[in-house]
C-alpha cells in the first residue's frame, strides 16, 4: 500500500512539473506571437502617422495659400514675377511632380490602413502591449536574450500530432548547420503546431503557412493525415518536409512489420498498463529529487551517476533530465570554505567510474550568478561587490574544481559552457556507455 501511495504521489508530482513546463513553453510562445503582432501593428501605425503628417502639411499649405490670396496689396512687379514664374519651365514641371507626389501619397495611405482606422490600430497596439505586461514575470534576460531571440529570413512551421519536441529539436539542430543561424536557439518566427491530427487542422496550418511564405516541417504518424498534408501543401504551393515518411517506410521494409499509424499521444492515452520502465523512471526521479545539492550522501552508493560542480553549472536541471530517463543521479556542489573544498568521505567510497565533474567558463559563470542575484532581488551594488558573483571568486572556484578533478584521473570532466542540457546529458551517457556503466543499477 505504501509503495502504491508513493507511486501515486510521484505521478502527481511529475504531472504537475510537466504541466508547469508546458505552461511556461506556451507562455513563451504566446509572448513571441504577441511581440510579432505588436511589431507589425507598430509598423502600420508608423505608416499611418506618416500619411497623417503629409495630410497636415498639405492642409497647412492650403491655409497659407488662402491667406496669401486674401492679401489686398500685390505690386505689379510681384504679379509680373509670379506670372513669369508660372510660365517658366520650372513652373511647368510642377504639375507632373505634384501629380506623382499625390499618387505616391495615395499608395502609402492605402497600404497603411489595413481595413481599420489609425485610432483603432493604435488602440489594438496598446492592448497588445498591455497583454504582454500582464504575462508572468519571466526571466527575460535568460529567456529572450538578443543572441537567442532572433528572426529567421523566412518563417518555419513545425507540425506534429504529438508534443512536437522531436521535430523542433531536429529543426534547431539543422539550423546550426547555417553560419547565420548558429546562435538561433529560439527563433521568433519558428512556430510549433502541436497535436495536429485532423484534416481540418492540417488545411488550416497549411493556409497560414501559405500566407506567411513559411516552410512546413512535420512528423505525422497517421497515413491519412500525411496524405492530407501533402495534398494541402501542393494546393497552396507550400514547401513541406516529411521527417517521418521515408523513415517509417524503410523501417517497415527492414523489420517486416506494419506500423500502427496511431499518433503517440493517442496510443499512450489508450494504453492504461504501466510498464516496468515507468516505475523505474518514477523511482529514479524520486531518488534524484532527494539527492539534490549533496543531500544524504549515505545513499550515494545507489546512484548511477554523481555530478560534481561549482554553483550554477546546471547540476540540478541535468540531474532531473537524466532522472526522467531512468537514471538515479546525485549531485554535489563544490563550495569552498576558507579557499578549500571540503569533500564528504562518502564520495570516495562509491564506484569512482560513476562520478562526472562539470566545468564552466569563469566569465560565463559570473554572468549567470549576477543574473541569479538580480532575480532574487539583490541589487547590482551588492551583487558586484559580493563574493558569490565577483570575477575573482568565480575564477577561484573554477580553479579549485580543476585541481580536484586533476587529483582523480578516473573522473571524466565535461565543460558545460554554452551547452544545452540535452547535449550535456548525451555526452555523459556516452561516457557511461564507454565505461560499461550505461545500465542503471535498478536494471542490473
* Cβ–Cβ < 8 Å for 60, 53: no
Identify the band that residue 396 occupies on the pLDDT scale cut at 50, 70 and 90.
very high
Write the pLDDT tens digit of every residue in 120-145.
444 444 444 444 444 444 333 333 34
Look at the alpha carbons of 255, 259, 263, 269 in this order and tell me if their dihedral is positive or negative: negative
Write the pLDDT tens digit of every residue in 303-342.
999 999 999 999 999 999 999 999 999 999 999 988 899 8
Helices marked H in 155-263: 165-175, 199-212, 223-236, 245-255
Say whether pLDDT at 381 is over 70: no
Say whether pLDDT at 281 is over 60: yes
- Between CA 173 and CA 159 the distance in angstroms is 16
- Between CA 121 and CA 110 the distance in angstroms is 14
- Between CA 225 and CA 161 the distance in angstroms is 9
- All cell numbers assigned to 123: 488602440
- Between CA 394 and CA 382 the distance in angstroms is 16
Identify the band that residue 413 occupies on the pLDDT scale cut at 50, 70 and 90.
very high
What local confidence, expressed as pLDDT, does residue 81 receive? Answer: 39
What local confidence, expressed as pLDDT, does residue 137 receive? Answer: 41
115 torsion bin: left (phi>0), alpha (psi -120 to 50), beta (else): left
**Chain mean position to CA 429:** 25
Say whether pLDDT at 227 is over 90: yes
For residues 18-41, average pLDDT: 71
Q: Give me the percent of the chain exceeding a pLDDT of 90.
A: 40
Identify the band that residue 372 occupies on the pLDDT scale cut at 50, 70 and 90.
confident
What local confidence, expressed as pLDDT, does residue 43 receive? Answer: 63
What local confidence, expressed as pLDDT, does residue 266 receive? Answer: 72
Q: Which of 19-23, 112-116, 409-413 has the lowest mean pLDDT?
A: 112-116
Identify the band that residue 45 occupies on the pLDDT scale cut at 50, 70 and 90.
low
What local confidence, expressed as pLDDT, does residue 132 receive? Answer: 41
H/E element holding 153?
Answer: none
What local confidence, expressed as pLDDT, does residue 294 receive? Answer: 92
What local confidence, expressed as pLDDT, does residue 309 receive? Answer: 95
* Cβ–Cβ < 8 Å for 213, 154: yes
φ, ψ (nearest 5 deg) of residue 156: -130, 130
Q: Give me the percent of the chain exceeding a pLDDT of 70.
A: 65
What local confidence, expressed as pLDDT, does residue 61 receive? Answer: 64
Task: Give the pairing type, strands 190-193 and 240-242.
Answer: unpaired
Q: In 3D, which of 411, 285, 299 has the Cα closest to residue 344?
A: 299
Amino acid at each position: 500500500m505504501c509503495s502504491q501511495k508513493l507511486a501515486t504521489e510521484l505521478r502527481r508530482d511529475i504531472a504537475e512539473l510537466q504541466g508547469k513546463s508546458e505552461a511556461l513553453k506556451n507562455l513563451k510562445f504566446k509572448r513571441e506571437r504577441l511581440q510579432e503582432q505588436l511589431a507589425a501593428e507598430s509598423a502600420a501605425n508608423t505608416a499611418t502617422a506618416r500619411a497623417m503628417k503629409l495630410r497636415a502639411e498639405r492642409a497647412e499649405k492650403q491655409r497659407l495659400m488662402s491667406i496669401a490670396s486674401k492679401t489686398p496689396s500685390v505690386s505689379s512687379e510681384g504679379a509680373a514675377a509670379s506670372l513669369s514664374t508660372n510660365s517658366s519651365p520650372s513652373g511647368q514641371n510642377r504639375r507632373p511632380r505634384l501629380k506623382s507626389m499625390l499618387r505616391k501619397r495615395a499608395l502609402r495611405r492605402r497600404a497603411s490602413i489595413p481595413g481599420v482606422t489609425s485610432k483603432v490600430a493604435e488602440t489594438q497596439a496598446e492592448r497588445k502591449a498591455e497583454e504582454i505586461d500582464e504575462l508572468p514575470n519571466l526571466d527575460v534576460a535568460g529567456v529572450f536574450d538578443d543572441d537567442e531571440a532572433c528572426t529567421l529570413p523566412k518563417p518555419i512551421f513545425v507540425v506534429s500530432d504529438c508534443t512536437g519536441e522531436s521535430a523542433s529539436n531536429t529543426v534547431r539542430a539543422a539550423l546550426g548547420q547555417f553560419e547565420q543561424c548558429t546562435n538561433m536557439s529560439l527563433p521568433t518566427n519558428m512556430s510549433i503546431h502541436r497535436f495536429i491530427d485532423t484534416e481540418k487542422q492540417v488545411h488550416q496550418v497549411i493556409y497560414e503557412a501559405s500566407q506567411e511564405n513559411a516552410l512546413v516541417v512535420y512528423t505525422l504518424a497517421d497515413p491519412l493525415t500525411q496524405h492530407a498534408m501533402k495534398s494541402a501543401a501542393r494546393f497552396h504551393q507550400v514547401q513541406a518536409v516529411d521527417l517521418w515518411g521515408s523513415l517509417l517506410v524503410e523501417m517497415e521494409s527492414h523489420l517486416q512489420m506494419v506500423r500502427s499509424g496511431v499518433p503517440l499521444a493517442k496510443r499512450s492515452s489508450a494504453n492504461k498498463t504501466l510498464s516496468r520502465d515507468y516505475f523505474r523512471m518514477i523511482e529514479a526521479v524520486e531518488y534524484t529529487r532527494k539527492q539534490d545539492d549533496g543531500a544524504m550522501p549515505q545513499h550515494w552508493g545507489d546512484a548511477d551517476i554523481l555530478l560534481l560542480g561549482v554553483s550554477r553549472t546546471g547540476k540540478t536541471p541535468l540531474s532531473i533530465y537524466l532522472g526522467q530517463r531512468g537514471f538515479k543521479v546525485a549531485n554535489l556542489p563544490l563550495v569552498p570554505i576558507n579557499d578549500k573544498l571540503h569533500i564528504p568521505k562518502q564520495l570516495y567510497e562509491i564506484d569512482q567510474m560513476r562520478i562526472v565533474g562539470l566545468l564552466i567558463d569563469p566569465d560565463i559563470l559570473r554572468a549567470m550568478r549576477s543574473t541569479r542575484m538580480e532575480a532574487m532581488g539583490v541589487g547590482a551594488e551588492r551583487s558586484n561587490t559580493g563574493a558569490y558573483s565577483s570575477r575573482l571568486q568565480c575564477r577561484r572556484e573554477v580553479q579549485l574544481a580543476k585541481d580536484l578533478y586533476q587529483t582523480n584521473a578516473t573522473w571524466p570532466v565535461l565543460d558545460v559552457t554554452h551547452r544545452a542540457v540535452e547535449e550535456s546529458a548525451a555526452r555523459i551517457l556516452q561516457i557511461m556507455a564507454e565505461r560499461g556503466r550505461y545500465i542503471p543499477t535498478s536494471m542490473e
